[in-house]
Amino acid sequence: QVQFVESGGGLVQPGGSLRLSCSAPGAAFSTYTMGWYRQTSDNRRPSVAIIRTGGSTVYGDSVKGRFTILRDDAKNTVDLQMNNLKPEDTAVYYCNRFPPFSDSWGQGTQVTVSS
């Protein structure tokens, strides 16, 4: 069973930046399309960014131009660089394969954007 581990969240003011990191020790990481997801108030986890094995990316409309997803297959990591953060970006963020493994969700990392 793959286990993803997220880190890097915190409290940041509007307009600030954070970089989230996800690792997957022992996983066949390089074969996965990977995604970052965030929990909504109605308990959904839509993806906000995905990165395919070839490196091409897709972003949700709400984060396009502000977030960048990057992967390092040698280290089994995928990062999410978040710039120009807005209060509506506040959420718990998760990484997982895209589409997600249902039993591989980690603890997530809390991002709070507030002045």
* pLDDT tens readout for residues 16-38: 999 999 998 888 888 999 999 99
Residue 14's pLDDT is 98
Amino acid at 99: P
Q: CB neighbours of 49 closer than 8 A, spacing ≥ 6?
A: 35, 36, 57, 58, 59, 60, 63, 67, 68, 69, 80
pLDDT at 15 over 90: yes
* pLDDT tens readout for residues 49-91: 999 999 999 999 999 999 999 999 999 999 999 999 999 999 9
